[in-house]
Amino acid sequence: MEIFARAVGRRKEAVAQVQMVRGTGQFIINNKPAEEYLQNNSFSMLLIKSPLELFNEESTKTDGLSPLNGSSLALNFDQFDTIVKVKGGGLLGQAEAIKLAVSKAVSIIDYSKTEVAQTVIPNLTSSSDNFALEVRKQLKNKGYLTQDSRVKERRKYGLKKARKASQYHKR
C-alpha cells in the first residue's frame, strides 16, 4: 500500500488521522464506508468530501486550460482511497476534523509521483512545486486549511458549569 499523504485534523474533542493511498476513490472511516459511519447524514458527507469536490467541480469549469495559466485546477481524486481513523467527540465534530485532515492531506500530496495530475500537466516535474502551491492556495482561499480552535470552556470551582452559578438570593 503506497501512502501519498498523511495528515491530522482536530475539532473540539475529535481527532482524525487521514491517509491518502492508491485506490479506486473509496472513503473509509474506522473500517466502515463513510455513509455508514456518518449514518447517512448528507450534511456530514458533503462536509468531509468538500475539499476533494472543490477540484472536481472546477475541472468541469475549465476549458482545457492549464491550471497554472488559468485560475482553477482540474484534479480527479478517484485514483485515491481515503482511509480515516477518528476518535473522540460527536459525529459533527468528527466530520469537521476529517474535513481539516483531508484538506491538509490534499495540500501535501507530492503530485509529481501520482497520475492524478499527469494528464493535466504533461511536464509536471518542472512545475510540480507551482502546482502544489496552487492546490494549497485554492484550499486556503476556501478556508479549508483553517483550524477552528473553539472548544468547550472548563468548569470553574464554585460554579455549576463554566459560567452557570447558583441563583443569588438576598435574604
Measured distance CA(23)–CA(134) in Å, rounded? 24
Q: Using DSSP bridges, classify how beta strands 32-33 and 80-87 pair: parallel, antiparallel or unpaired.
A: unpaired
| DSSP character at residue 100 | H
Q: All 3 cell numbers of residue 2?
A: 503506497
3-state secondary structure of 17: strand
Strand positions, DSSP E, 3-142: 3-11, 14-22, 27-29, 32-33, 80-87
Strand positions, DSSP E, the chain: 3-11, 14-22, 27-29, 32-33, 80-87
Q: Which residue has the higher pLDDT, 171 or 91?
A: 91
Domain residue extents for the chain: 3-142
Read off the pLDDT of residues 107-164 as tens digits, 9 standing for 90 and up.
998 777 666 555 555 555 556 678 888 889 999 999 999 999 898 899 999 999 999 9
Is the pTM here over 0.85, yes or no? no
**Mean pLDDT for the chain?**
84
Read off the pLDDT of residues 69-110 as tens digits, 9 standing for 90 and up.
444 566 778 888 999 999 999 999 999 999 999 999 999 987
Residue 71 has what pLDDT?
A: 46
Residue 104 has what pLDDT?
A: 95
- Portion of the chain with pLDDT greater than 90, in percent: 59
Q: Are 95 and 44 in contact (CB under 8 A)?
A: yes
Read off the pLDDT of residues 41-50 as tens digits, 9 standing for 90 and up.
999 999 999 9
Q: Are 82 and 15 in contact (CB under 8 A)?
A: no
**Is pLDDT of 35 > 80?**
yes
Which CATH topology does 3-142 take?
Answer: Ribosomal Protein S5; domain 2 (3.30.230)
Residue 154 has what pLDDT?
A: 95
